[in-house]
């Protein structure tokens, strides 16, 4: 069934079709519609779930963790300040191996107060042990929530589905809502091997000495390493059932490209328009939109970029004192590989400033004019 819906509602529909059993969430702009629709769905029985209206995001994630360890499929959604407030609990969810799935609407961190998009909120949670998926359309948001549950529950690692504030969260698009029976087939009920129950009294997460802790984290990393293949496999399975592939990256006209933008989120779709325009003016351009940021698809990125002459990473984020964050990852993906192209790093669109096709043309003009990527960061559209 096709429906016109905002990105936030695509998250709600994803959580509903996945048959989330416990939802605990706290409102924050621009996430509110996610939880509003889910409360309605719980109230009118469309969704058989318990909605816990907690008093903070910290409690939201704590309650999700509690519900998850008790054996329930669990969902929440937040943004920016809310995500930052959850930080301690994000480590708890992954360290405890609780496959909570969460929507995060990318919003800039205050101060000054901003409700508009950039990626510093979710990317600040890079090392918490969560999988992170960056979406570029409402369809992808809905589909990814369902896939994220499947992957997270197989690996017992939580997953974060990320979408741009307003550019997706509040933008209406046509979304194909999959059939519930088909989703049930794709995503069977959550049945964890071990759970918190008096029938099998165990202590979870107690004092862990140096002789055990490292092995627990080693296993987390080893399971993360299984995720890229699993994401591709479940993506193909999804395509067979629903006609849409969900992969690690979305490579647009990269096969014969000499110059490739590396992007994420909705800017990745804007970049396609710029690619087409560049191609009309004779530049063999392409766009590599990175969909999965954690685990980072190193092999895939290497495979695509080693064939091109130049790559320009456009980051909607900044790791202050270092670089754009995708820029760092892309460089490390290519490091040590013979014959890799120069990689140029750009920062654009912080605090919700638009990233337009002109922004990409400015990036292209800069990168194409240079032989070496010798400037650390180039800021696009900034008033200096």
- Residue 87 to residues 60, 266, 288: CA-CA distances in angstroms? 12, 25, 30
* C-beta of 76 vs 132, nearer to other proteins: 76
* C-beta of 65 vs 101, nearer to other proteins: 65
* C-beta of 67 vs 355, nearer to other proteins: 67
Buried b or exposed e, range 62-95, using 16+ CB within 10 angstroms: bbbbbbbbebbbbbbbbbbbbbbbbeebbebbbb
Contact 330, 313 (CB under 8 A): yes
Instruction: State the nearest-atom distance from the C-beta of 130 to other proteins, in Å.
Output: 16
Instruction: State the nearest-atom distance from the C-beta of 204 to other proteins, in Å.
Output: 5
Instruction: State the nearest-atom distance from the C-beta of 216 to other proteins, in Å.
Output: 9
> 254: number of CA atoms within 13 Å, CB side?
24
Instruction: State the nearest-atom distance from the C-beta of 338 to other proteins, in Å.
Output: 45
Give, to the nearest 10 degrees, the angle between helix 138-155 and helix 7-17: 40
Instruction: State the nearest-atom distance from the C-beta of 61 to other proteins, in Å.
Output: 9
Instruction: State the nearest-atom distance from the C-beta of 217 to other proteins, in Å.
Output: 13
* C-beta of 21 vs 263, nearer to other proteins: 21
Instruction: State the nearest-atom distance from the C-beta of 195 to other proteins, in Å.
Output: 8
In the complex, the residues that contact other proteins under the rule CB under 8 A are 21-22, 24, 49-50, 52-56, 58-60, 62-72, 74, 88-89, 92, 195-198, 200-209, 212
Instruction: Tell whether the torsion through CA atoms of 334, 336, 337 and 343 is positive or negative.
Output: positive
Cα–Cα distance measured from residue 67 to residue 248, given in angstroms and rounded to the nearest whole number: 29
* C-beta of 60 vs 101, nearer to other proteins: 60
Cα–Cα distance measured from residue 199 to residue 206, given in angstroms and rounded to the nearest whole number: 19
Cα–Cα distance measured from residue 75 to residue 149, given in angstroms and rounded to the nearest whole number: 9
Q: Which residue has the tokens 């000499």?
A: 258
* C-beta of 26 vs 261, nearer to other proteins: 26
* C-beta of 212 vs 384, nearer to other proteins: 212
Contact 156, 192 (CB under 8 A): yes
């Amino acid at each position: 069934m096709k429906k016109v819906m905002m990105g936030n509602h695509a998250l709600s529909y994803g959580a509903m079709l996945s048959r989330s059993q416990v939802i605990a969430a706290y409102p924050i702009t621009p996430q509110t519609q996610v939880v509003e629709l889910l409360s309605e769905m719980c109230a009118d029985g469309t969704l058989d779930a318990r909605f816990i209206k907690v008093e903070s995001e910290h409690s939201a994630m704590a309650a999700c963790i509690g519900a998850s360890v008790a054996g329930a499929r669990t969902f929440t959604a937040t943004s920016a300040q809310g995500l930052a407030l959850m930080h301690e609990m994000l480590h708890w969810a992954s360290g405890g191996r609780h496959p909570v799935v969460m929507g995060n609407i990318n919003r800039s961190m205050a101060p000054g107060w901003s409700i508009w998009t950039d990626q510093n909120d979710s990317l600040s949670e890079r090392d918490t042990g969560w999988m992170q998926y960056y979406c570029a359309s409402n369809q992808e948001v809905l589909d990814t929530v369902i896939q994220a549950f499947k992957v997270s529950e197989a690996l017992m690692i939580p997953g974060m589905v990320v979408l741009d504030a307003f550019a997706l969260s509040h933008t209406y698009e046509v979304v194909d809502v999959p059939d519930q029976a088909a989703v049930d087939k794709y995503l069977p009920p959550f049945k964890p091997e071990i759970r918190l129950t008096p029938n099998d009294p165990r202590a979870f997460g107690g004092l862990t000495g140096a002789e055990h802790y490292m092995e627990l984290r080693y296993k987390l990393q080893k399971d993360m390493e299984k995720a890229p293949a699993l994401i591709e496999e479940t993506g193909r399975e999804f395509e067979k059932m629903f006609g849409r592939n969900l992969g690690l990256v979305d490579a647009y006209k990269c096969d014969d490209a000499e110059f490739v933008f590396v992007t994420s989120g909705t800017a990745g779709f804007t970049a396609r328009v710029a690619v087409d325009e560049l191609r009309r003016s004779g530049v063999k351009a392409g766009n590599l939109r990175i969909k999965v940021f954690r685990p980072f698809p190193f092999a895939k990125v290497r495979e695509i970029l080693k064939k091109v002459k130049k790559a320009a990473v456009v980051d909607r984020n900044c790791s202050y004192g270092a670089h754009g964050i995708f820029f760092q990852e892309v460089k490390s993906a290519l490091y040590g590989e013979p014959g890799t192209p120069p990689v140029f790093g750009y920062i654009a669109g912080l605090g919700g400033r638009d990233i337009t096709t002109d922004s990409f043309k400015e990036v292209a003009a800069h990168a194409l004019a240079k032989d070496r990527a010798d400037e650390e960061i180039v800021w696009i559209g900034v008033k200096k």
